[in-house]
Amino acid sequence: MDVAFLNGDNVMKSISRLLRSCCRQIDFISRYAYDEFAFVLPESGDTGVEAVIGRVRGRIDTLNAQLAGKVDSVKLKPLFGGVTYPQGASTKELLLSRANQNLLKNRP
């Protein structure tokens, strides 16, 4: 992997491609904040969400292995927080709030 990857714009583009590769064509991924992405996974339920999380973790582990030894102290550490609709929340505001609460629970 080229060290030029570590430029901020390139990192976000690469992460976006990595995330897209973990999802189905009908899934929607959006950059929500600087380093946060929101996923909309229609008809997935908890099992589908866990499958996507597993794929993302695996691909990020692979990317971290590729970066190891090339650049000191660079390691991507994904955190996940999610909620399902309508079981976990019934409005957009509740979905975002509960997903954020779940994300914060996973922070070190």
Q: State how far the alpha carbon of 45 is from the alpha carbons of 13, 57, 61, 77, 85, in Å.
A: 27, 18, 24, 24, 8
**For residue 7, what pLDDT is reported?**
67
**For residue 26, what pLDDT is reported?**
92
**For residue 18, what pLDDT is reported?**
92
Count CA atoms within 13 Å of residue 45 on its CB side.
Answer: 1
**For residue 55, what pLDDT is reported?**
94
Regions of the chain with pLDDT less than 70: 1-7, 71-73
**For residue 89, what pLDDT is reported?**
84
Q: Is the separation of the CB atoms in 29 and 12 below 8 Å?
A: no
**For residue 85, what pLDDT is reported?**
83
**For residue 5, what pLDDT is reported?**
54
**For residue 1, what pLDDT is reported?**
46
**For residue 13, what pLDDT is reported?**
82
At 63, which amino acid appears?
L
**For residue 20, what pLDDT is reported?**
93
Residue 39: alpha-carbon gap to chain centroid: 8
Q: Is the separation of the CB atoms in 31 and 44 below 8 Å?
A: no
